[in-house]
Amino acid sequence: MKIGVLALQGDVREHLAALRAVGAEPVPVRRRSELEAVDGLVIPGGESTTIVKLAKAFELFEPLHKRIAAGMPTFGSCAGMILLADRILDGVAGQETFGGIDMTVRRNAFGRQVESFEEPVPIEGIPGGPVTAVFIRAPWVEEVGPAAQVLARVEAGPATGRIVGIRQQHLLATSFHPELTGDARVHGYFLQMVREATAADRDECE
């Protein structure tokens, strides 16, 4: 599976390494031709408004929006979660997203960068116990529509019960940065999503 990492800002190198560790063929994506060549895409953390500005500057915003809407498997971490949300709280005026997941996300919900932390978080569908979730100026999900499936919640501390992992069909999003821990299970889960989507597309064409 050829999986792209949107290489405009954020932990691009770390996502490429995690995807490689689970057997994918990872490639950075900065151009429309590179986007068209991948089976799935990772949108890394960073600054969501900056990623949108850069996507427009590289003429990627509309192609990305269309491919996501058309069913391309996409995984967004941290800022990537914001960019896959249909609705945002505490965003800048007129802030845009690629959309796709029927959820409302609150930007910087966990506080400033100095308030970053790690927390073990169980994720539905990922065996082997909780993953170590790294939260850096992270969002959380305030509201979930009926089409979306909650995969993970914080289980301790003042944010107990907050939604930090979600899936809607071909889209996956986490508040945290799984690429920073050396545990590639979330990327393996996403790779399986890409394989299933590719097999389904193949069956439709036969």
In angstroms, the CA 154 to CA 119 distance is 8
Q: How far is CA 189 from the centre of its chain?
A: 12
3-class state of residue 24 by DSSP:
coil
Contact 3, 25 (CB under 8 A): yes
Catalytic residue (one of 15, 170, 179, 187) = 179
Q: Is 179 a catalytic residue?
A: yes
What is the C-alpha separation between 129 and 53, in angstroms, rounded?
38
Cβ neighbours for 56, distance < 8 A, ≥ 6 positions apart: none
Q: Does 177 participate in catalysis according to the annotation?
A: yes
Q: Which of 14, 78, 119, 170 is catalytic?
A: 78
Which DSSP string corresponds to 77-142?
A: ETHHHHHHEEEEESPPTT------EEEEEETTTT--GGG-EEEEE--TT--SS-EEEEESS--EEE
Q: In whole angstroms, what is the distance from residue 188 CA to residue 19 CA?
A: 7
Of the candidates 15, 170, 177, 187, the residue annotated as catalytic is: 177
Task: Catalogue the active-site residues.
Answer: 78, 177, 179
